[in-house]
Amino acid sequence: MTEYKMPVREENSNKGTFGKVLNFSGSKNYIGAAYLSTVSILKAGGGFAALATEKDIIKSVSALLPEAVYLSRKEGLNQIKDFSVILIGCGLGLERNSKNLFKKIIKDLQNTDMPTIIDADGLNILAELYKKSDKEILRYAQNDKKLLIITPHPLEAARLLGIKLEEVLADLEGSARKLAEKYNCIAVLKTHRTIITDGKNLFINQHGNSALAKAGSGDVLAGIIAGLLAQGVDSYEAARLGVYLHSRTGEIASEELTKYSVLASELPKYLHKAIAEIC
Q: Which residue type occupies 173?
A: E
24 and 88 in contact (C-beta within 8 Å)?
yes
Task: Name the pairing type of β-strands 195-197 and 202-204.
Answer: antiparallel
Query: In this predicted structure, what is the pLDDT of residue 135?
Result: 77
All structural domains of the chain: 15-278 (3.40.1190.20)
- What predicted TM-score, i.e. pTM, was given to this entire model? 0.97
Mean pLDDT by 10 residues, the chain (279 residues): 86 95 96 98 98 95 97 97 97 97 92 92 95 81 81 98 98 98 96 96 97 98 98 97 98 98 98 97
Q: pLDDT tens digit string along 99-152?
A: 999 999 999 998 788 999 999 999 999 999 998 888 778 777 776 677 899 999
Query: In this predicted structure, what is the pLDDT of residue 132?
Result: 87
